[in-house]
């Protein structure tokens, strides 16, 4: 990948790559019992893989993320979604580490998902696409890591749904992960978290333009998807951050006495919803939220009784995160400690709510840099 410096500490201009595998008759067997193939994963890489291939870090994105985690696509004004964390001298220092980020299976930003063409009928899969799990997403990522010639990842990192993938990597391939950094996540969804996802899905499916998922070639259910995003975005913020950002400020001097956006917070949510439908597929939203709800590595599912793993953990949580509250991260650490795993828990004071994992850059950088450097040094010393 050619990198062209555009800003200080930026990795510059990057390109998305594509890896296709699971060609028939070697389709990927999914947790639900269906087979899927061929499968394409969109991915980006930053930095250089060292000769021993011991410096690879996999970044896993959240629900609405994609493979473009850092740098700039040609002509773009805004960088990748975690650019503040990836690059020279940053938390994931690309002068030391080789960073990989892929769009998850079921996504809509280059990876195979419900909007992809079904080779059987040459039409978009729509609801013919099989239901997925977080385990299926990680299994697909594992094929990509194999393709890149990496036998063991130095680290797997991610926030929110990305954190679920981190935990799944350890559960599925403990011998292939040197250290894991799950951020603002949970080992399983609570009833409240499932409820929020279900309300979002029902908003999409209630839109008359959804047509039972067969809307490709027509207008996608924009109103329903926008409402789903508005609901989700409320859960990403905290009461304090919303008070500081909006309070009860009006867009105009007086109430309109109409069902319009009188308050700034209303206009903001509508703006977020309208922007989301321009870049995300409604069916992908349904499939990915369902995969999150199915996810369950609680109890001894993460590390089975009697099994010991060498993976080191740095679990990060944020005090104002009410979507993935502190107790869920603490439960992860408790289970790791019961299994005598090397686990460090860090709680960051923040008013940003769940969005803090994308915003508390200085604190995260300090914690992650130290943890990664210590792990990388110990990894290579041990190998010598």
The per-residue b/e assignment along 152-179, b for 16 or more CB within 10 angstroms, e otherwise, is ebbbbbbbbbbbbbbbbbbbbbbebbbb
Catalytic residue among 136, 139, 281, 321: 321
Element holding 171 (H helix, E strand):
helix 161-172
User: Is 197 among the residues known to form the active site?
Assistant: no
Residue 354's SS3 state is helix
Catalytic residue among 68, 155, 354, 355: 354
Tell me the β-bridge partners of 43: 17, 102
User: Is 115 among the residues known to form the active site?
Assistant: no
Catalytic residue among 102, 160, 284, 320: 160
**CB contact set of 150 (below 8 Å; sequence gap of 6+):** 49, 53, 56
Element holding 275 (H helix, E strand):
helix 264-279
Over 43-56, what HEC string results? EEEECCCCCCCCCE
How far apart (Å, rounded) are the C-alpha atoms in residues 115 and 166? Answer: 26
User: Is 160 among the residues known to form the active site?
Assistant: yes
How far apart (Å, rounded) are the C-alpha atoms in residues 271 and 162? Answer: 25
Tell me the β-bridge partners of 177: 153
CB atoms closer than 10 angstroms to residue 367: 19
Query: Could you list the active site residues?
Result: 160, 321, 354
């Amino acid at each position: 990948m050619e990198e062209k410096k555009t800003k200080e500490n930026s990795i510059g201009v990057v390109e998305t790559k594509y890896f296709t595998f699971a060609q028939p008759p070697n389709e990927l067997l999914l947790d639900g019992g269906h087979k899927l193939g061929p499968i394409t994963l969109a991915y980006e890489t930053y930095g250089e893989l060292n000769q021993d291939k011991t410096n690879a870090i996999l970044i896993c994105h959240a629900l609405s993320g994609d493979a473009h985690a850092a740098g700039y696509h040609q002509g773009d004004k805004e960088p990748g979604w975690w650019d503040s964390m990836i690059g020279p001298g940053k938390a994931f220092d690309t002068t030391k580490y080789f960073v990989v980020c892929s769009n998850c299976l079921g996504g809509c930003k280059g990876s195979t998902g419900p909007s992809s063409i079904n080779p059987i009928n040459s039409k978009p899969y729509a609801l013919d696409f099989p239901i997925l799990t977080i385990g299926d997403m990680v299994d697909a990522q594992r094929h990509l890591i194999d393709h890149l010639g990496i036998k063991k990842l130095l680290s797997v990192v991610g926030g929110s749904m990305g954190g679920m993938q981190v935990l799944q990597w350890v559960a599925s391939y403990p011998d292939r992960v040197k250290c894991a950094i799950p951020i603002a996540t949970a080992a399983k969804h609570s009833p409240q978290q499932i409820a929020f996802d279900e309300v979002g899905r029902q908003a999409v499916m209630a839109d008359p333009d959804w047509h039972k998922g067969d809307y490709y070639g027509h207008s996608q259910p924009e109103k329903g998807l926008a409402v789903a995003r508005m609901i989700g975005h409320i859960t990403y913020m905290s009461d304090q951050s919303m008070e500081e950002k909006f309070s009860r400020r009006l867009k105009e001097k007086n109430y309109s006495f109409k069902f319009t956006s009188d308050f700034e917070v209303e206009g903001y949510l509508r703006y977020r919803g309208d922007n989301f439908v321009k870049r995300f597929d409604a069916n992908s939203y349904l499939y990915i939220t369902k995969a999150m709800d199915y996810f369950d590595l609680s109890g001894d599912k993460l590390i089975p009784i009697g099994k010991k793993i060498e993976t080191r953990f740095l679990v990060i949580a944020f005090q104002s995160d009410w979507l993935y509250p502190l107790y869920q991260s603490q439960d992860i650490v408790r289970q790791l400690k019961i299994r005598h795993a090397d686990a460090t828990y860090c709680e960051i004071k923040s008013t940003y709510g769940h969005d803090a994992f994308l915003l508390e850059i200085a604190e995260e950088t300090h914690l992650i840099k130290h943890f990664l450097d210590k792990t990388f040094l110990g990894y290579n010393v041990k190998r010598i």
